Structure 1
Amino acid sequence: MRNHTATLFILQGLTDDPQLKVLFFIFLFLTYMLTVTGNLTIITLTWVDPHLKTPMYVFLRNFCFLELSFTTVCIRRFLYNMLTGDYTVTYNACFTQLFFGILFGASEFFLLAAMSYDHYVAFCKPLHYAKIMKNRVCNQLLLGCLLSGLMIIITILGMGLELEFCDSNIIDHFLCEPSPVLEIACSDTQVLERIISASIGLTLIMTLVLVVLSYAYIVRTILRFPSAQQKKKAFSTCSSHMTVISFSYDSCIFIYVKPSAKEGVALNKSVSVHATSMAPVMNPFIYTLRNKQVLQAFRDIFKRVVLISKL
């Protein structure tokens, strides 16, 4: 850091209206608590229930962990800002939030691709599923997802730490995101903007291609099923994952697929709320309400807790 580089930033937040601030705080606090409760419930169920030890639920447990970590990194700090009225954030805290936000967010997309591959093997190669999706393979895929996310953020963060902030320290957002941070930098950000767009664009394209290919083969296999009941059951099994995929991709594509980081920051705030608050709270309920095994595991655990409390 150079001497004339800002060491303290001020987050602009979502609105200056005091009444709207209260509404936003209530909304974000409730969604955050639901996110924590929902994701921790699925993590616990898939950890303790012996029927949920298959690779599908191992991937789901790790996806819920990433969702919980991502929304905690993005929302918890903003809730503190609104509660205290202190919207300042240090240079180190801002770039720490950037690091973990992109790390967890990018890892989620690679994990969605891995989950799609798991579905592909389950539907298209059921007789070889146990042989292909061994514990070692699952662990390698999970580690690969995290390392892929780490590779994306390392270059971006390395160049970001060289930026100078000498004109303004006010970030027009409620969290530290690449676009609004680059907007206030007085250094030349064109190269970094292109690297960010290329890295995130490549991540989205690669993972989306893998997802689409996996489900193209899955749909083709399902359509060959002899009975309509089998087809309906198979499509119902896939629908939860496909819904989560749509929630995850739409907001990220809107935010990052644009020509310049200096465009549409104000509009991106509402999309960021969806990505960091709405999607994480919806995903565990989508998986729970549409998955009979998870529902049954929840009932079993609930019955055990009730019986223990009566003793």
Structure 2
Amino acid sequence: MTHSYRCVDVFGSGPLSGNPVAVVHDADDLTIDQMAAFARWTNLSETTFLLRPTHTGADYRLRIFTPGEELPFAGHPTLGSAHAWLEAGGAPATPGVLVQECGAGLVRVDVGERLALEAPPLLRSGPVSEEDLARIARALGIDTDEIVDAEWIDNGPGWVGVLLADAAAVSALRPDWSAFDGLDIGVAGLHRPGLHEPGGDVLLEVRAFCPGLGITEDPVTGSLQAGLGQWLTSTGRLPTSYVAAQGAALQRRGRVHVDVVDGQVRVGGETCTTIEGRVDLRA
């Protein structure tokens, strides 16, 4: 049996400039092994599978796989899968708002000028120990005194957030992949001044390193951007509305729009289908 399939570019600022996600529709008949095998085969950061919801408040259920494992939540797969579901004729129960069921629970996606997810609660937050700071510095190939601040911002994938002196320090990183020891590290630095963007300036440069998930560097990362937004806006380091850049080291030009509305962090970006067809996933 074949399935409808879309590959959606998420958080791009032009053609082929964001992070692609593979989306398989009507995947209720697939086994976990089939899903995991297809995710390994696509070798994208994430591959997702749309299923019928089991929660009465959800429009659909989503399973999210990296090449290495299944995740309870991830950002760019959430927006890309919402785009694919809508494009295939899905109609949300509440106009203007999608509700996704996933391993992290229910995630709201606002349908407006651009799709924007509401950041789920953090599973782990708070300061980072001196021991972990030393591990992080070794993995990033820097001295601990180059880390301005660090915080656990785990909303599913396991992120620890690291703030460096500025965007240039983020761009200059040359990680030591052998030293990560299971860490998933998101690094951010402020632009001085911001890069000019239509409708606003880019204030933050971001990179995401997660070799334990089968991805060395992720091009553009919604879950990390959500956690960074919760952390850095709450501490006053960033305003309640800003644009972050990600992906330059991988020759991408990702742009992530972060807004805090009534205390809720929303992470949005452009979505565009690049491939559409059918896929045969028979064992």
> What is the TM-score with the length of structure 2 in the denominator?
0.27
> What is the TM-score with the length of structure 1 in the denominator?
0.25
Query: Which protein, 1 or 2, shows the higher relative CO under an 8 Å CA cutoff with sep ≥ 6?
Result: 1
